[in-house]
Amino acid sequence: MGGWIDWNPALEVALVGALVALLPLLWVLVKGRREGLQGWPAWQRALTLATLFLTLDLVVFGAFTRLTDSGLGCPDWPGCYGHHSPVGARSLIDQAQALLPSGPITHGKAWIEMIHRYLASGVGALIAGLMVAAWWGRRRIGSLSPWWPTLTFVWVCAQGAFGAFTVTLKLYPLVVTGHLLGGLLGVGLLTAQARVMDAANPTRTGAWRRSSLRAWALAVLVLAVVQMALGGWVSTNSAVLACSEVPLCQGQWWPAMDFETGFRLLRPLGGDGLGAQITLAGLTAIHMVHRLAAVVVLLAMVALAWGLWRARHWRREAVGLWALATWQLLTGLSNVVLGWPLVAALGHTLGAALLVWWLVRLLVQPRAAPFSPRSS
């Protein structure tokens, strides 16, 4: 890896990330003093929620980076042509842009790529701080187990490695899709971490433990993650444009498809893995599998929401699930019939991240011995 990665600007990029992390830290301090938070666990939960919010932003901005073809805006990692920002790399970017004005390297794309890295560094700094603070305050009553933020820290390190390989392997589809799923995993981990620190409602928690809906909710989460992986594969391969109508595709219910090529995982961007360009049939196979899987996931979400609605303690969760199903349906259809507009594509990614948050929040219940936000 050492030959692929220029570590010279790593410290500078990390410092910029630390400055980014100061913003949610300041927000937590202001909010905490305004609401009178007392006790370490309350502050720990507030900081976890701030980190979760920044991670959601990072997932959406990562999609923006990918959808604007800015993933190679800076062709090295972690800096930009060995500098911590595109300012220092201006002359080199000018040269690359002059050679290929509409290519992957322009000043705008370089800034988009570096802002994404700054946000990622900020999330990493916050998670590292959460881990250190959790171990330092582990003996305090009501504190979160330090293994939660430690696991999240391992995740953010692995996600950083995926980010490096995304650039050095030139947007290799399998790596880019893995990077997207990694971002969603981070949303799930931080949601669970915050959720176990919520103030417990004995009635709701007890009802959930006795509910047969738990297994169904877990199944829906698994189905949703599989569908998100398929969606990442569609986006990475630009297979959205293989079909431009609904419910038909290319004027047919079952167009020509090449599943072997479409789902050959070890292949470069735009290639078929055998030295040629991927065919329309391969792209169509990717698109149609995602479309058919969407029907299964939507039906599963609606069924789970109906079950939650019938259980009186979970009607708010049911409404949220119905709303997310509707949002994903509308943004998914908009991607197809409107030719993959940026707003709809970003909305679809945001909906996926919020769905992970909502389902994990439902599945992970507060611990049996809740802390009081105002206890010391």
* Known catalytic membership, residue 113: yes
Out of 35, 113, 245, 317, pick the active-site residue: 113
Q: Which of 69, 119, 115, 112 is nearest to 345 (CA)?
A: 69
Q: Give the number of other CB atoms < 10 A from CB of residue 119.
A: 22
The helix (run of H) or strand (run of E) holding residue 51 is: helix 40-67
Tell me the C-alpha distance between 154 and 138, whole Å: 19
Question: Which one-letter DSSP state was computed for residue 226?
Answer: H
Residue 191: C-alpha distances to residues 21, 180, 370 (Å): 18, 17, 17
φ and ψ at 171, to 5 degrees?
Answer: 60, 40
DSSP output for 155-212: HHHHHHHHHHHHHHTTS-HHHHHHHHHHHHHHHHHHHHHHHTTSPP-HHHHHHHHH-T
Residues recognised as catalytic:
113
